[in-house]
Amino acid sequence: MNSGILYLIPAPLGKGDIAWTIPAAVRQCVARLDRYIVEHPKTARQFLKQIDCILPLQRISMQVLDEHTQAREFENLLSPLLAGSDIGLLSEAGCPAVADPGAGLVRLAHQKKIRVVPLVGPSSILLALMASGLNGQRFVFHGYLPVETSKRVKKIVELEKDSIVRDQTQILIETPYRNQKLLESIISCCRDDTSLCIACNLTLADEYISTRAVREWKHALPDIHNKPAIFLLQG
């Protein structure tokens, strides 16, 4: 029997018109699936309602893959694919396996010769880079920095130096409730002429994107507490 297809399904970055971020053809493809691997079933069901899922939600199988999922569980998650069923890997927000659980599962799928199909949808990281005006030819996504203040500051200084030497954009994220502290750390330790882009609530009605020199940010920091944000800096 041929294996099923593992579809990688991006999800909206927040509440809003889903037609703005998920193409109709993608919604039609996703709406027919009856098996999903998801981070949170509750928000996954909300997403399926938005795309006008063809099947009753109670008939849809959802298995959980989150930050607590062990690699030894991946085999079981992939077993329906090996039996011939298609499965959708649904991100909580944005793209699966990019700053998101799932990369290990996708890698194992390739090892088992399962076809992997990425679907079109929003990536906050790329949207922020596109809109920043910073170097889009050379960039590095670092994910989360250390929580402890002194270690975080040391890492920011290292990243700024690397950015200058390599002429590259450094891309960072943080848990929304710690956004303001990360921003304050960047402003406190980076050079005045370093460029910093703050991209917040991307694709939403109150989207905020601004690139300025650190010296300019010092005069007025935006309130981004508890708001999903991407930080991009280039020395």
Residue 17 confidence (pLDDT): 85
Residue 57 confidence (pLDDT): 84
Residue 92 confidence (pLDDT): 86
Residue 135 confidence (pLDDT): 97
Q: Which band of pLDDT confidence, cut at 50, 70 and 90, is reported for residue 130? A: very high
Given a cut of 80, whether residue 109 has pLDDT beyond it is yes
Q: Which long-range contacts link 20-26 to residues 24+ away (Cβ below 8 Å)?
A: 20/203, 21/121, 21/122, 21/203, 22/51, 22/120, 22/121, 22/122, 23/120, 23/121, 26/119, 26/120, 26/121
Angle, CA of 81, 86 and 91, to the nearest 5°: 100
Q: What are phi and psi of 232, to 5 degrees?
A: -130, 130
Residue 124 confidence (pLDDT): 95
**Considering the entire predicted model, what is its pTM?**
0.90
> What are the pLDDT digits (tens) for 132-178?
999 999 999 999 999 999 999 999 999 999 999 999 999 999 999 99
Q: Which band of pLDDT confidence, cut at 50, 70 and 90, is reported for residue 54? A: confident
Given a cut of 90, whether residue 202 has pLDDT beyond it is yes
Mean pLDDT of the chain: 94
Higher pLDDT residue, 52 or 23?
23
Q: Tell me what the mean pLDDT of segment 8-27 comes to.
A: 91
Tokens 């949808």: give the residue.
Answer: 121
> What are the pLDDT digits (tens) for 27-47?
999 999 999 999 999 999 999
Q: Tell me what the mean pLDDT of segment 120-124 comes to.
A: 94
Provide the 10 A C-beta neighbour count for residue 159: 21
Q: Which band of pLDDT confidence, cut at 50, 70 and 90, is reported for residue 193? A: very high
> What are the pLDDT digits (tens) for 58-100?
899 999 998 899 989 999 999 999 999 999 999 888 999 998 8
Given a cut of 80, whether residue 1 has pLDDT beyond it is no
